[in-house]
Structure 1
Amino acid sequence: MNSHRAIHKDDITIVDTKATKKAVMATSIGNAMEWFDFGIYSYLAVTLGKVFFPEMNGTVQLVYTFATFAVAFLVRPIGGVFFGMLGDRLGRKRILAITLVLMALATLSIGLIPSYAAIGTTASILLLIARLVQGFSTGGEYSGAMTFIAESTPDKKRGVMASFLEVGTLVGYIAGAGIVTLLTYLLGQEQMVEWGWRIPFLIAGPIGIIGLYLRNHLEETPAFEAMEKVKTDEKKRVSLKQIFVDHWKSMLIGMIVVFSYNIVNYMVLSYMPSHLSAVLGYGETRGLLLILIVMFLMIPIVLMMGYFSDRIGNKRIIQGGLIGLVLLSIPSFLLIGTGNNWFVFIGVMILAVFLACFQGTMPSLLPSLFFTDVRYGSLSITYNFSTSLFGGTTPLVVAWLINLTMNNFIPAYYLVAASLIGILVVTYFVKDTSGKSLRGSPPAVEEKQEVKEILKDPEEALWWQEERSK
């Protein structure tokens, strides 16, 4: 688009509140189910190491287990490209249903794999294949869910509504951690290694059916439908090459933002239970229970961060979280290293509060980096490449570095370094779009009276036209 276009009353989307709530609920629940499937692997890492890598011992066994965890992230970018490009062509709704079914089937299959004791290295290979399918499906899941919610909500409430997506993530993690903790308590470690570890994975089957039902009853996003209506023969589908050529700057910014966010995310939610048990000698059940409590407490904090991001801007919330991590990561791990229940809780909780700064804002910030016609594809590529390189490898790299250096403060140094990089990029290269229309889309409002206000300042309403014309 080489010239600015005017905005008309009919261009402005008046969002159906009921449809919005339904979209937020169904996407969040589906995301919770997806992350329940994905998360239980993290919480069973120590047990799975004994089942599939019994020839290894201690921290080396944990490294091998997390290597299988990390390998799924190698195919996430492939899944991101595949599902993201399809999502921009066929719609968000269809792809989100497919990713959920694939994830549920892959997770269910893990629960059916014979142990190493029964079939030897074949068991480890089957586990690897199942993890690769999980990674492939997840490549289109989270970025699609972010896109769906961002495009289905009013601009002025995008932050708080999108934060429910991360509430779904936490609920999924809580369900996974809760079941693992309960089973470990009831069965004991010996029974868990023998057969109890299978139960959480087998639950994935019925969960997948419920998630599929919810997502099939969603309507397509207003932003995608509006884009489809104005498409002409002259405006052809955007190719993968065009995405990299025309949107490389937004993708690079997004990758670095996701880099900082996901290192914190996977450090606290995925790596921490194993750090407490395998590295610090903290009881497995105690460690899982502590993380479970922390995640419960994070839910209202995440929603609060989403709420305030609509008022003061998601950029400021993210900056605050990054600065907090630079200042308090090392003190947090000092507290965690004491082994005292209360000090460990306070240390983990400090990290969790700063993680909540990102979880309450990222689902609204990241989709706003891209234009509607390339949003799903660009976001999937950006998010998954960054997550594969940095987020998903965090548990593996940290476990390996601790084993190499025998320094238990490696996780804190890792967090500080990632946060310093994040501060620079967010401060100088990220535009605060809270309350504004998404790039490439007309404004979305909740009430009819808001339309008149928008028409008074059409240039502000279509603020992104300057970027589009470059």
Structure 2
Amino acid sequence: MTRDLRAAHANSHREMLKVVIATSLVTCLELFDFTVFSYFAVMIGDQFFPATDPMTSLLLAVGTFGVGFFMRPLGAMVIGAYADRVSRRAAMTITIWLTAIGTAAIAVCPPFAVIGVAAPFIIIVGRLLQGFAAGGEVGTAVTFAMEAAPPSRSGILVSWQYASQAAAALLGALLGTLLTSTMSPASLTQWGWRIPFLIGLSIVPAGLYLRRRLVDSPVPAASNRGTAIPFVELCREHGGTLALATLAKIWSTVPVYAVITYMPSYVTRVLHMPPIIGFMSSTLSTLLLVVVSPLSGLLADRLPRRKPMVLITSGTTAVLAYPVFAMMTHAQSPRAVLLGSAVISVLLALGTSIGALLVLEAFPARVRASGFAISHALGVTLFGGTAQFIITGLIKWTGDPVSAAWYVAPACLVSFVAVLAFKERRAAA
């Protein structure tokens, strides 16, 4: 009997490891393709959005980065509904192909100097495809991971999803650091920025191989025959939960795009420091997210409640946003940039996966993928996707680099209030 129990326990661990690898690693590759654009926004702006004013060129580039986010809610609705009604695994396969097509379009597109206005048009279409895929990928993959684990282990499986998202940004930052330190500025601007996008096309063979080995969740087949369209049911029966979940997402998305992925552009164009400092900052931040997120997942499985930790981390981020940007601006040193980014990153890592569990457990299984995907996509789109554009505009308008905090701090405060109003429904262990 003991031997049988040990074998069953080992088999359970193998299955959970398979889920972690197939969901998290592929999500990492998909979001790498999506987020790497922001790291090379300066170069992409020069190639596809030429302007006499460098800040205007950057503004157009980060605006294009934001365009991809506006397809995420549509992708969340369409792919999330497919995941809820048909198959979680099949939905995750669709996102692989869409991501690959969008990434290939960006990787091989000729610059504005060669094909004129067709160049920015192709870049925008590529971003739209990436955004549509990302909108469905995150919600479906996180839901699959949560449902594949017993309630007592759901925190650790979900946290690996967020570690993988950070790993995507880390990979982009490492490549940015490597390329900026080994290539001349002219070569990097002309063709070097394409290298990460070409690497990102590995999503197809890796993703298809790993996800075909997964055992699909029985939830869609068991609970959705003859039911309403998931989005309709969400709006009719869970509208308040959906709205609060969307607002709760703001604190864990705005700082990511304002403090972490925007840092290479912020350091170069705003603080007028060497580009490698910005990439080092992003590398440190994402490394902390990768390391601390699984620890947060372990903590989540031991906490009796989710809300207090989410309130602590979101509230502290709101309070520290202005001091962090002020320190970076006035110190004008690599140490200040690294320290400020690290503080925000640790707070994000501690609270994000716990906040995700809070939302996942609030939706019934038959609309869980749609509910989480849509709330996540709306929060990221409306507030995260616009963060770099708004912050760049604020700095250009005011001439004050610290004005970046004018967007970050209130955004986190809104989430703090939303989490206060959120009704917690802890799954039984």
Task: Give me the TM-score of the superposition, normalised by structure 1.
Answer: 0.85
Aligned to 1:428: 421
**Percent identity for Structure 1 against Structure 2:** 28
Alpha-carbon spacing, 1:360–1:139, altered in 2? closer, same or farther (3 Å): closer
Match of 1:351 among 344, 350, 366: 344
Aligned to 2:319: 327
Does residue 162 of the first structure (1) align with residue 158 of the second (2)? yes
Paired amino acid for 1:301: V
Indicate if the aligned counterparts of 2:31 and 2:134 stay in contact, CA closer than 8 A. no
Cα shift readout 1:283-333 (whole Å, capped 9, x = no counterpart): 112210222123213322222222212222332221111121122212211
* Count of residue pairs the alignment pairs up: 418
Aligned to 1:259: 250
User: Alpha-carbon deviation of 1:226?
Assistant: 5.2
Rounded Cα–Cα distance in structure 1 between residues aligned with 2:273 and 2:282: 12
Paired amino acid for 1:345: L
Indicate if the aligned counterparts of 2:76 and 2:370 stay in contact, CA closer than 8 A. yes
Alpha-carbon spacing, 1:237–1:432, altered in 2? closer, same or farther (3 Å): closer
User: Alpha-carbon deviation of 1:386?
Assistant: 2.3
Higher deviation after alignment, 319-328 or 142-151: 319-328
Cα shift readout 1:354-373 (whole Å, capped 9, x = no counterpart): 11123332332322221101
Higher deviation after alignment, 171-180 or 83-92: 171-180
Match of 1:122 among 118, 121, 136: 118
Aligned to 1:111: 107
User: Alpha-carbon deviation of 1:432?
Assistant: 5.5
Aligned to 1:316: 308
The 3-state SS of whatever aligns with 2:249 is: helix
Does residue 363 of the first structure (1) align with residue 356 of the second (2)? yes
Indicate if the aligned counterparts of 1:101 and 1:212 stay in contact, CA closer than 8 A. no
Does residue 64 of the first structure (1) align with residue 60 of the second (2)? yes
Indicate if the aligned counterparts of 1:367 and 1:375 stay in contact, CA closer than 8 A. yes
Indicate if the aligned counterparts of 1:165 and 1:363 stay in contact, CA closer than 8 A. no
Higher deviation after alignment, 26-35 or 317-326: 317-326
Higher deviation after alignment, 81-90 or 404-413: 404-413
Match of 1:183 among 172, 175, 179: 179
Aligned to 1:280: 271
Rounded Cα–Cα distance in structure 2 between residues aligned with 1:412 and 1:89: 42
Rounded Cα–Cα distance in structure 2 between residues aligned with 1:163 and 1:314: 13
Alpha-carbon spacing, 1:330–1:389, altered in 2? closer, same or farther (3 Å): same
Computed over aligned residues only, the root mean square deviation of the Cα atoms, in angstroms, reads 1.9
User: Alpha-carbon deviation of 1:227?
Assistant: 6.1
Aligned to 1:84: 80
Alpha-carbon spacing, 1:209–1:262, altered in 2? closer, same or farther (3 Å): same
Aligned to 1:138: 134
The 3-state SS of whatever aligns with 2:184 is: helix
User: Alpha-carbon deviation of 1:196?
Assistant: 1.0
Indicate if the aligned counterparts of 1:314 and 1:432 stay in contact, CA closer than 8 A. no
The 3-state SS of whatever aligns with 1:370 is: coil
The 3-state SS of whatever aligns with 2:202 is: helix
Aligned to 1:198: 194
Q: Residues 342-421 of structure 1: matches in 2 within 5 Å?
A: 342-421=335-414
Rounded Cα–Cα distance in structure 2 between residues aligned with 1:277 and 1:96: 37
Match of 1:302 among 279, 286, 293: 293
Indicate if the aligned counterparts of 2:73 and 2:381 stay in contact, CA closer than 8 A. yes
Indicate if the aligned counterparts of 1:49 and 1:62 stay in contact, CA closer than 8 A. yes
Cα shift readout 1:14-58 (whole Å, capped 9, x = no counterpart): 993322221122101011101111121011011111111122422
User: Alpha-carbon deviation of 1:238?
Assistant: 3.9
Rounded Cα–Cα distance in structure 2 between residues aligned with 1:33 and 1:56: 35
Rounded Cα–Cα distance in structure 2 between residues aligned with 1:58 and 1:427: 42
Paired amino acid for 1:75: M
Indicate if the aligned counterparts of 1:238 and 1:373 stay in contact, CA closer than 8 A. no
Indicate if the aligned counterparts of 1:336 and 1:348 stay in contact, CA closer than 8 A. no
Rounded Cα–Cα distance in structure 2 between residues aligned with 1:226 and 1:60: 49
User: Alpha-carbon deviation of 1:168?
Assistant: 0.7
Higher deviation after alignment, 115-124 or 332-341: 332-341
User: Alpha-carbon deviation of 1:426?
Assistant: 0.9
Indicate if the aligned counterparts of 2:159 and 2:293 stay in contact, CA closer than 8 A. yes
Alpha-carbon spacing, 1:432–1:415, altered in 2? closer, same or farther (3 Å): farther
Rounded Cα–Cα distance in structure 1 between residues aligned with 2:347 and 2:166: 15
Indicate if the aligned counterparts of 1:304 and 1:360 stay in contact, CA closer than 8 A. no
Match of 2:91 among 92, 95, 120: 95
Cα shift readout 1:95-124 (whole Å, capped 9, x = no counterpart): 011102210221122110001111111111
Higher deviation after alignment, 404-413 or 236-245: 236-245
Rounded Cα–Cα distance in structure 2 between residues aligned with 1:230 and 1:371: 10
Alpha-carbon spacing, 1:54–1:90, altered in 2? closer, same or farther (3 Å): same
Task: Give me the TM-score of the superposition, normalised by structure 2.
Answer: 0.93
Indicate if the aligned counterparts of 2:234 and 2:371 stay in contact, CA closer than 8 A. yes
Aligned to 1:468: none
Rounded Cα–Cα distance in structure 1 between residues aligned with 2:230 and 2:355: 26
Aligned to 2:29: 33
